Structure 1
Amino acid sequence: MKNLETKSNKVSLKEIARLSGVSIATVSRVINNTGRFSEETKHRVLNIVKKNNYRTNTLARSLRTKHSNSIGILVPDLTNDFFSKVVQEIEKNLFKVGYSTIICDTQRDPDMENYYLNTLEAKSIDALIVISGDHPFDSDSLTEKVPVLCIDRKPKNKDTIFISSNHKTGALIATQRLIDKGYFPVYVSPDHVSTSRASRISGFKHALELNSIQFTQSNSLELKAPNQESYDKTIEEFLQKNKDKRLGLFCLSDYIAAIAIRQIHKLNLKIPNEIGVIGFDDTKYASLLNPSLTTIHQDTSKIAELSAKTITKMISSPNTDVKKNIEVPVTLVARESA
């Protein structure tokens, strides 16, 4: 069949319908993935669409249907393995149901976040997903009312959906393991503010309380400057200062745990005999470290699946009641480091 698209005249919806042997309304339903149609009809229409390089006019369609079929995603740091995995999984889930994503890396900069929010609103997104961040997200700050879902970032508005791992329980499990193995428990964390960090520290302190251990400054190591060189130095100094203790480090991320393990090796301390280390996230390199890292596993697939399912339901049925707070269970992955 001759390709119907030319430089001056692209194939029309009417022509796609004629070639497919169905109505224009059916073609529209297939392209927009709405309403009823058989699998056979879907394949026939999409084959004709593909063969003739048909492209929908997104702007015109959004003006007509009030939907752009796009969802904005704000993320604070795409170099973070956990964040990038969640974003990738969400994008995959949304693509399956006909939504495109616009991903914005704010780099934990409030000005960049505001700029991207304005940009996303200008693009008439159907919904917004906000992942982590340093302060509660205020959905009332948006000029257009669209569904908003927060992951690991408490919303300011009680009607906003909030999905997170059970960070507090994960931290409690990790800390209890260190205590049970006879270590002196210490949490190690960057000092930036986030919902997940606060929950993990709360879980750490709760474990100490359950074991009648008083929390003091010696039970915490805050990493002030956000760069690896300063982290190296701070961790090394702390280890030197506490050589008399059999430390058990609960690192609030696998990334911090990896830095800690390197400094422990540098001081010729033996893991897990002289010092224990537990991370959080169960990222791809946790099992590759030497020794392999005991860590708390976050179910990124479940988080992404729930996020995509909830946000699309909010778009298609705005008046439907959905659960406002969803907590995803975590599990301990026991390896060699503790």
Structure 2
Amino acid sequence: MKKNITIYDIAKEANVSPSTVSRVLTGNERVKPVTKQKVDAIIEKYNFRPNSLARSLLYKQSKMIGIILPDINHPFFSTLVQKSEAHALSLGYTSFLCNSMNDTDVESTYLQNLIDKQVDGILFLGGRINQVATDPKLAEEMNRIMDRVPVVFVNGEMAGVDAHVIQTDEKEGITNVIDLLHNLNHQRIAFLGGEQGVTSREVKVNAFKEALARHHLPIHEQWIMNEGFDIESGEELANHLLYLNEKPTAIVCVNDFVAIGVIKTLNKFGIRVPEDISVVGFDDIYLAKDFPPGITSVSQNYEELGKTAVDVLVKLINGESAKKKSTVPTKLQLRNSCQLAKREEVDKE
């Protein structure tokens, strides 16, 4: 049996042109049934599979996708990328991971590099697509990139950019958190963390206020604070909160890092979680389960989010239609950082 069979070998044995073999391999309907049957028989005879380079020329695809993310150290992004990359690999695609370090100039560099590497499509996370106010120049650049390859946004959008968007239902997640705290008799609830102008914070804050209003609970603006998305931000915000005369019985945090920082500071001042104050996080990163006392958190449903994003991107790569916006449900993970509000605290209201 021949080794390293090529489409030229198959064409010669079938007495057809190499382009005819290519059309058979790509499913082109212009090949006569009798010719197709003859070529298929020879392909089967040699168990022929085009190698990656030949396949990229044959199908005009590199079978590579790019993934741009803002911070590989953050568990939300690293977990989501892990799930996305694994699903892409199961579909025959390898991935280029590009960590932009929250720098839009670095994003621009990576976008061009991915085009130069002839990736078939790009998944874009964080950075410019999480800004409430879109930079017109960045939007223009994104549109130029999308003229070259399909791009799918994950948990973000840009004004003036008609991209396919895959998002988790963060509003639903916060609504479920407030429903939980309300059922636990909490009436004084704070929201800590995030940065103004970043959609992952603004969506949650708006949902937080809407949910409080729906339960006829007071909205204390002095308890809605932003500083950042890391553990240090949680520590700093908890410090500010403890200096106020009136304090909440429950704290909702923009993410689990902030929740960890909040719990660390509360513990430092002898305030017990959940006995004195209940704390809820968001994202359900791997640390949430094991950080004492175990943080109640909203799962971003990473596997479904990553799978949906990759599936939509592959559909676009293959020239198929795909839903313009897909929403993945979140799930509230109940742990030990929340409990019933103390009776005396409820009676204060």
TM-score by length of 1: 0.80
Which residue in 2 is equivalent to 1:303? 305
Q: Within 5 Å, which residues of 2 pair with 1:119-198?
A: 119-133=113-127, 134-135=130-131, 136=134, 138=139, 139-142=142-145, 144-157=147-160, 159-181=162-184, 182-191=186-195, 193-198=197-202
Which residue in 2 is equivalent to 1:272? 274
Q: Is the 8 A contact 2:123 2:151 kept in 1?
A: yes
Higher mean Cα deviation, 175-184 or 157-166? 175-184
Of 6, 11, 16, 1:13 maps to 6
Which residue in 2 is equivalent to 1:112? 106
Asked if 1:333 corresponds to 2:336, the answer is no
Q: Is the 8 A contact 2:188 2:218 kept in 1?
A: no
Q: Specify the SS of the correspondent of 1:187.
A: strand
Cα distance, 1:246 vs structure 2: 4.0
Cα distance, 1:29 vs structure 2: 9.7
Which residue in 2 is equivalent to 1:79? 73
Q: Is the 8 A contact 2:153 2:166 kept in 1?
A: yes
Higher mean Cα deviation, 239-248 or 67-76? 239-248
Cα distance, 1:213 vs structure 2: 3.5
**Whole-angstrom CA distance in 1 between matches of 2:146 and 2:303:** 31
Which residue in 2 is equivalent to 1:314? 316
Which residue in 2 is equivalent to 1:52? none
Cα distance, 1:337 vs structure 2: 0.4
Q: Specify the SS of the correspondent of 1:104.
A: strand
Cα distance, 1:109 vs structure 2: 0.5
**Whole-angstrom CA distance in 1 between matches of 2:207 and 2:59:** 47
Cα distance, 1:113 vs structure 2: 0.7
Q: Is the 8 A contact 2:233 2:261 kept in 1?
A: no
**Whole-angstrom CA distance in 2 between matches of 1:170 and 1:42:** 55
**Whole-angstrom CA distance in 1 between matches of 2:182 and 2:317:** 47
Which residue in 2 is equivalent to 1:218? 222
Cα distance, 1:171 vs structure 2: 0.9
Cα deviation 1:54-96 (Å, max 9, x = unaligned): x6437xx646643222111111111111111111111111111
Q: Is the 8 A contact 1:16 1:45 kept in 2?
A: no
Cα distance, 1:329 vs structure 2: 0.9
Q: Within 5 Å, which residues of 2 pair with 1:51-62?
A: 56-57=52-53, 62=56
Q: Is the 8 A contact 1:150 1:161 kept in 2?
A: yes
- C-alpha distance 91-73 of structure 1, shift in aligned 2 (>3 A): same
Q: Is the 8 A contact 1:186 1:248 kept in 2?
A: yes
Which residue in 2 is equivalent to 1:90? 84
Q: Specify the SS of the correspondent of 2:226.
A: strand
- C-alpha distance 231-276 of structure 1, shift in aligned 2 (>3 A): closer
- C-alpha distance 114-196 of structure 1, shift in aligned 2 (>3 A): same
**Whole-angstrom CA distance in 2 between matches of 1:292 and 1:143:** 43
Q: How many residues were matched structurally?
A: 312
Residue identity opposite 1:270 in structure 2: R
- C-alpha distance 236-219 of structure 1, shift in aligned 2 (>3 A): closer
Q: Specify the SS of the correspondent of 1:154.
A: coil
Of 276, 287, 294, 2:296 maps to 294
Residue identity opposite 2:98 in structure 1: C
**Whole-angstrom CA distance in 1 between matches of 2:234 and 2:82:** 28
Large movers: runs of 4+ above 6 Å: 15-18, 23-30
Cα distance, 1:315 vs structure 2: 1.1
Q: Specify the SS of the correspondent of 2:149.
A: coil
Cα distance, 1:211 vs structure 2: 2.5
**Whole-angstrom CA distance in 2 between matches of 1:271 and 1:183:** 17
Q: Is the 8 A contact 2:193 2:234 kept in 1?
A: no
- C-alpha distance 143-222 of structure 1, shift in aligned 2 (>3 A): closer
**Whole-angstrom CA distance in 2 between matches of 1:151 and 1:329:** 14
Cα deviation 1:174-224 (Å, max 9, x = unaligned): 123223322521111131643322211111111121133443432212115
TM-score by length of 2: 0.77
**Whole-angstrom CA distance in 1 between matches of 2:46 and 2:126:** 39
**Whole-angstrom CA distance in 2 between matches of 1:88 and 1:214:** 40
Which residue in 1 is equivalent to 2:93? 99
Q: Percent identity?
A: 26
- C-alpha distance 240-210 of structure 1, shift in aligned 2 (>3 A): same
RMSD across aligned positions (CA):
3.4
- C-alpha distance 274-242 of structure 1, shift in aligned 2 (>3 A): farther
Structure 1: runs of 5 or more not aligned: 5-10, 50-54
Q: Is the 8 A contact 1:183 1:276 kept in 2?
A: no
- C-alpha distance 268-27 of structure 1, shift in aligned 2 (>3 A): farther
Q: Specify the SS of the correspondent of 1:177.
A: helix
Q: Within 5 Å, which residues of 2 pair with 1:243-262?
A: 244-262=246-264
Cα distance, 1:157 vs structure 2: 4.2
